[in-house]
Amino acid sequence: MICFDDVDSLLTAGGCDDGVDYLLPPRQRCASHTLNLVAVHDADKAMNDMSYKKICRATMAKCSALWNKASRSTQCADVVSEKLHATLLVPNETRWNSYFNAMAKIKHIIEQNHEETVSEVFSALEVLQLRENEVSFVNEYYCVMHPLACALDMHSASRK
């Protein structure tokens, strides 16, 4: 026979008749949430450096323009698909790693295609070209965030 205790009455009374106090287990922080907070905090802190802030905002603005054009226009999406033989990943606010995945895709596209082909796509979509230092920023962003993204992906997969 299964016996159930009324948890509310046990916690309210501070224990039960057998002299045993019932305590809730210590709160366990979610590893994914904690790692995400670390990344967000460090990214916010990096924005205090004006040269970093400038290159970050310029790069993200151009990438955002590219994502917006390709996701809102079938003609633009077709240009990306035809010239680069790929589709862009568009980040969203509900997935922690969507910016990383979208930036990783841009990094991959830049590496896998001739510079002229990438330039043609930016021109066709009427988006300002990524300058050399902005391409370097995309690469550095990937290198810094990749271990964190892998750790979070492994943690998420282990919870399923």
pLDDT digit string, tens, across residues 123-146: 999 999 999 999 999 999 999 989
| Phi–psi pair at 30, nearest 5 degrees | -75, 125
Q: Decide if 101 contacts 46 (C-beta within 8 A).
A: no
Q: What is the C-alpha separation between 87 and 43, in angstroms, rounded?
A: 27
Tokens of 144: 């810094």
Mean pLDDT over 143-152 rounds to 87
DSSP 15: S
Residue 47 backbone dihedrals phi, psi, to 5 degrees: -65, -10
Q: Where are the domains of the chain?
A: 28-158
Closest CA to 131 of 119, 120, 146, 142: 119
Q: pLDDT tens digit string along 1-23? A: 566 667 677 666 654 555 666 56
pTM of the full structure = 0.75
